[in-house]
Amino acid sequence: MQCIINRRAQFSASHRYWLPELSPEENVARFGKCTQAPGHGHNYVLYVSMVGELDQYGMVLNLSDVKHVIRREVTGQLDFSYLNEVWPEFRATLPTTEHMARVLWQRLSSHLPLVKIQLFEHPELWAEYTGNGMEAYLTISTHFSAAHRLALPNLSYEDNLEIYGKCARPHGHGHNYHLEVTVKGEIDPRTGMLADLVELQTAIEDHVVEPFDHTFLNKDIPYFAEVVPTAENIAVHIRDLLREPIRTTGATLYKVKLIESPNNSAEVYCPVPEAPAPVRQQAELAAV
């Protein structure tokens, strides 16, 4: 039986975004504060996902061996380093989070049966790489606070209570929503970026965070005048709002995850993933 296991590691390193072929003004316009010398640092967190068959001891791999490989090939070399100079890959291409994830895959893939590399630059920005050429995923995390009421306008208060429980109470209630927006794209071989990070953050801020923050969703967001603002429906609406603005940055929206509380969250994809074959077949039969 196959199983995926994950190993966490961490390292601290600094880097700088600066292309010598650009003027100082062009670098600042493109990379902002990240151009400041001598650079800035992060506490990186790395997750290495591996797949394999369970052996007679109930293990895919000996995690002690995995730990030593990651230390030897990655963290031992990168910890307390200046990334732009430590490896040739970061001299040819800027050490962005998404490019680093791809390089870590390349460094580890001959030693471990990888299925995914996930690299957190900080808790609000991380990248994933799954071995697919120059394609990578970048996730931006943010938040907004809003109130809502769960109730269908054509039902009585009693009926809405039956469906939505306390969430149907007439004056609503609030949440500190945590939003994760994942985009995918091709890593630029020089800048190391799949899209301009500032443009991505601005799109999310302008189209979601600023309009939604400190609102009563049912009354302040026209879409929810008739659509019940469940976590699922909010996530779908955010996906639809962001699809085109993110496309203009050069990336493609992949996933929106909305965390309503520590106990409740919803994820929607763009485009919607194809259903498993048995589900598709049932749907096709039902349509005949």
Active-site hit among 85, 210, 214, 244 = 214
Known catalytic membership, residue 167: yes
Going by their DSSP bridges, the two strands 215-216 and 135-148 should be labelled as parallel
Listed in sequence order, the residues at least 6 apart from 276 whose beta carbon sits closer than 8 Å to its beta carbon are none
Please say whether the beta carbons of 240 and 234 come within 8 A.
no
At which residue do the structure tokens 């026209």 appear? 222
Q: How far is CA 214 from CA 173, 251, 262, in A?
A: 12, 29, 20
Q: How far is CA 85 from CA 13, 15, 73, 95, 223, in A?
A: 11, 9, 16, 10, 50
Active-site hit among 73, 89, 135, 167 = 167
Closest CA to 194 of 100, 75, 70: 100
Active-site hit among 175, 180, 260, 270 = 260
Tell me the two tokens of residue 26: 């062009």
273-278 LR contacts (CB < 8 Å, sep 24+):
none
Catalytic machinery residues? 167, 214, 260
